[in-house]
Amino acid sequence: MTSITHHISPPLLAAYAAGTLPEPYALVVASHISMCDDCRAALGAHEAAGGAVMESSAAQAVSDDLKARVFDGLDIAPVAGPVYQKSGVFPAPVMEALKGKPPKWKSLGFGVRQSVISRSAAGSVRLLYIPGGQAVPEHSHNGLELTLVLQGAFADEDGRFGVGDLEIADDDVQHTPMAEVGDACICLAATGAPLRFASWMPRLFQPLFRI
């Protein structure tokens, strides 16, 4: 909890607070906030700003019967959906997206696995499992890519990312993350457009210590 060093950027948080962030990114942001009190507090500050904008909006008179309609609704108990909680390394928003079930991993070879949580025109979000000491498959992506570490750690040109750290990669960054030797690295990753694994060079899948 205390060792998180890579956080959500202010524009990303503001967009999340305002609800303009596409769902795949919003899932990663909500997951990071579940793990990070600093960003939870920062979100609170953005919501205070949003609340101030709401409260200072010019009032529009409401229909005469609106209040009665609202009071009529108070006695109708809302249908409560299931509440999901953190399970193992997976934060609550991920468990909710998985509907409480364990992820369905698919092998990408060499011990690397992925589990696609959602894929749509808005983008995609997936879990990645990289054995310790191995490279994350090289890939290209369009637009923003958010990667949140749930277990283990990886390192790339931008530094070291441990549990709870969020990597924000802008357009066309060619990066080659490498899982740290030790525990397998499990990440939650969101991209704006369908992810394409560009190359399947076997060298990327050789454990470091065997090269």
Partner 1 sequence: MDQKNDPKSFGSRNVGMLTLEPSSCDTPNSHARHPRSMARKKVRLPKQESQQISDQTSWMLAVRDARDRQAFGRLFDYYAPRLKGFVMRTGVPAAQAEDIVQEVMISVWHKAAQFDPHRAQVSSWIYQIARNRQIDVLRKENRPMPEELMQDEVQTEDASQIIALEQEADTLRQALNTLKPGQRDMVEKAYLGELSHSEIQEQTGLPLGTIKSRIRLGLEKLRHELKDIRQS
**Residue numbers at the binding site for Zn ion (CB under 5 A):** 7, 36, 38-39
Residue 67 partner contact from Zn ion, partner 1, none using kind-dependent CB cut-offs of 5 to 8 Å: partner 1
| Closer Cβ to partner 1, 92 or 204, answer by number | 92
Neighbours of 180 (CB within 10 A): 20
Residue 161 partner contact from partner 1, Zn ion, none using kind-dependent CB cut-offs of 5 to 8 Å: none
What is the rounded distance in angstroms from the CA atom of residue 35 to the CA atom of residue 133? 25
| Closer Cβ to partner 1, 13 or 178, answer by number | 13
- Contacting partner 1 within 106-145 (CB under 8 A): 144
- Contacting partner 1 within 42-71 (CB under 8 A): 42-63, 66-67, 69-71
Q: Residue 40 CB, nearest distance to Zn ion (Å)? A: 8
Half-sphere exposure (Cβ direction) of 66: Cα atoms closer than 13 Å: 5
Report phi then psi at 46, rounded to 5: -65, -40
Of 33-41, 107-115, 156-164, 199-207, which segment contacts partner 1 by CB under 8 A? 33-41
Q: Is 191 in the site for partner 1 (CB under 8 A)?
A: no
Closest CA to 151 of 106, 112, 185: 185
Return the DSSP state at 59: P
What is the rounded distance in angstroms from the CA atom of residue 63 to the CA atom of residue 91? 42
Per the CB < 8 A criterion, the answer to whether 154 and 180 are in contact is yes
H helical segments located in 116-202: none
Per the CB < 8 A criterion, the answer to whether 191 and 148 are in contact is no
- Contacting partner 1 within 156-185 (CB under 8 A): none
Cross-strand bridge partners of residue 118: 125
| Closer Cβ to partner 1, 63 or 209, answer by number | 63
Which residues are near partner 1 by CB under 8 A?
Answer: 9-12, 14-15, 17-21, 23, 25-27, 29-31, 33-34, 37-38, 40-63, 66-67, 69-71, 73-74, 77-78, 83, 85-86, 91-93, 96-97, 144
